A and B are shown apart, each in its own frame.
Chain A
């Protein structure tokens, strides 16, 4: 998908300076992965709250429907 560039006269204008943006980008990615983990994985294959099943049971249907293994 990288090289699928349209013959546009308007290239994407900005390149974000990696060093300056890295704090926000890494922080956001970690935050997103934490949500992904709690929706999809926690209290199934792994559990950070021990044997408690509240998160698992509450998002149960979404977990199945989003394609994660469940039970």
Chain B
């Protein structure tokens, strides 16, 4: 029910802005499910991985959450961001297609190319400075808390928060950058040469 989603999501988002981390996690999980459904309906032909777009949308929602006003409905805001990120993904794909013609033989030899490790976000993560990268992957992939991460690397919690915040902002920026599509091709080409 859209009505319920709207009421619930805006309640969670308001709580999150007030500092409730639990509410924010709930908001993101429910939003991810809605956006996933939306993106999957929109992508009818292959080439764009829906989950990549879901992740880009979540990151954009996170770094642009100061653009949501509390008097505004939250769902139109979420879907407008998702639509924008989807169009962006198609645009990048258009650019990528030219190069993939050359690589078609290798693509056939690699039937399992689209695994979890192939995600756009991993490439963006790889491009981060080492300190930010290790903090972001500790908190995300390894599932450590901020304090655990601080203990692991022997730095303060504030330093962890700063690295995490900058790292996420940098990843989001990389998604938005025009060059990202090309950087990705380049990296992929290098990977193929190594194999």
Pair from one complex? no
